[in-house]
Amino acid sequence: MTDLTSLANTQLGIKLSAAQQEAFAVYEQTLLEWNEKFNLTAIRDLESIRIKHFLDSLTCIPEIKAIAPNRLIDVGTGAGFPGIPLKILFPGMQLTLVESVGKKAGFCEHVVKLLHLENVKVSTLRAEEIGQLAEHREKYDWAIARAVAALPVLLEYLIPLVRVGGGILAQKGESAHAEAQTAEKASQLLGGKLDHITQVNLPGVVEDHFLVVYKKVAATPARYPRRTGVPSKTPLS
């Protein structure tokens, strides 16, 4: 079985410290234990956890290093991906995890305490709610999400949270380019601009993975995000 240290080094050129290796070992064991009681993730074997959760999360690092990630928000984090792996690599970063499902938010809180991660906040608010709060609105260097919603919807969740000059990163599958085209108007309305789309290759994974990166170029109009449920029912187009 391939260990995460080798994967991170060979695939991304990232060298994990002994403390980081230990943190990931505790994280994966805790995920396995909780998955026996709760349906946190469909990925349940160690090999897949290391590649499809941990390594997949770490593929964001070359992108977010372009803008120093002092404050990052992960919307729809589930069992903490990609937010917690990124926090392990950037311990000084202030992290907000947004997860409306209570058992998943509880798991994230447990892992944060277990790993003694500082400056991490777990919120059970919906993305539409948190985007209208002054303490979060346009306060982050990066807003990130993985497998949460189609881009026209997702951008309405993420762009209001990022300061002008910050970045938005969506981890996407094979529909990435088509979704980006559909989301062009939404991006303009919300103050974002598509920067680039990068393909990511994960060992042993045949499905296409892409990182879709936007830059925040203008302030988001006050009416966005709209109230809970509206973005998904009536996407900006």
Q: Percent of the chain scored above 90 by pLDDT?
A: 86
> Do the strands 140-146 and 162-172 form a parallel or antiparallel pair, or are they unpaired?
parallel
- Please state the pTM of the whole predicted model: 0.96
Residue 138: how many CB atoms within 10 A of its CB? 17
Cα angle 181, 185, 191 (rounded to 5 degrees) comes to: 115
Beta pairing partners, 198: 211
The rounded distance, in Å, linking the Cα atoms of 157 and 152 is 9
9-41: pLDDT as tens digits: 999 999 999 999 999 999 999 999 998 888 788
Q: What is the pLDDT of residue 174?
A: 94
SS3 83: helix
Closest CA to 210 of 222, 219, 198, 202: 198
What is the pLDDT confidence band of residue 166, given thresholds at 50, 70 and 90?
very high
Domains, the chain, in order of start with CATH, read 4-233 (3.40.50.150)
